[in-house]
């Protein structure tokens, strides 16, 4: 990863600019994009209109567990070490 994409050297995480952060962004993906559903994950995809840019957002259901568990799952999901 180069420093030009906003990530620190050696970082394996999605930087803020690469993540969906607002409810309106998630709604736009839900309404205008396509979804692939699996047993543990729903992947929403929408074209951004940019050449190679992408952004990612993670949502965890309450079925996963309490807030602490969901936050841990999101933390691990945003890491590229999976």
- pLDDT tens digits in sequence order for the chain, 82 residues long: 444 444 455 556 777 888 888 899 889 888 988 888 776 677 788 887 776 677 888 788 888 889 998 888 888 877 755 4
At residue 36, φ and ψ (nearest 5 deg) are: -115, 120
pTM over 0.85: no
Say what the pLDDT of residue 2 is: 45
Q: Do residues 74 and 58 make contact, with C-beta atoms less than 8 angstroms apart?
A: yes
For the chain, give every domain's residue range: 3-78
Q: Do residues 25 and 31 make contact, with C-beta atoms less than 8 angstroms apart?
A: no
SS3 call for 30: helix
Q: How many helices (H) and strands (E) does the chain have?
A: 2, 2
> Which residue in 24, 28, 17 sits closest to 56, CA to CA?
17
């Amino acid at each position: 990863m180069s420093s030009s994409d906003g990530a620190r050297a050696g970082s394996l995480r999605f930087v803020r600019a690469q993540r969906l952060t607002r409810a309106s962004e998630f709604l736009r993906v839900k309404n205008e994009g396509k979804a692939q559903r699996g047993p543990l994950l729903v992947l929403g995809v929408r074209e951004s209109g940019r050449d190679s840019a992408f952004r990612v957002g993670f949502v965890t259901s309450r079925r996963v567990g309490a807030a602490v568990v969901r936050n841990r799952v999101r933390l691990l999901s945003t890491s590229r070490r999976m």
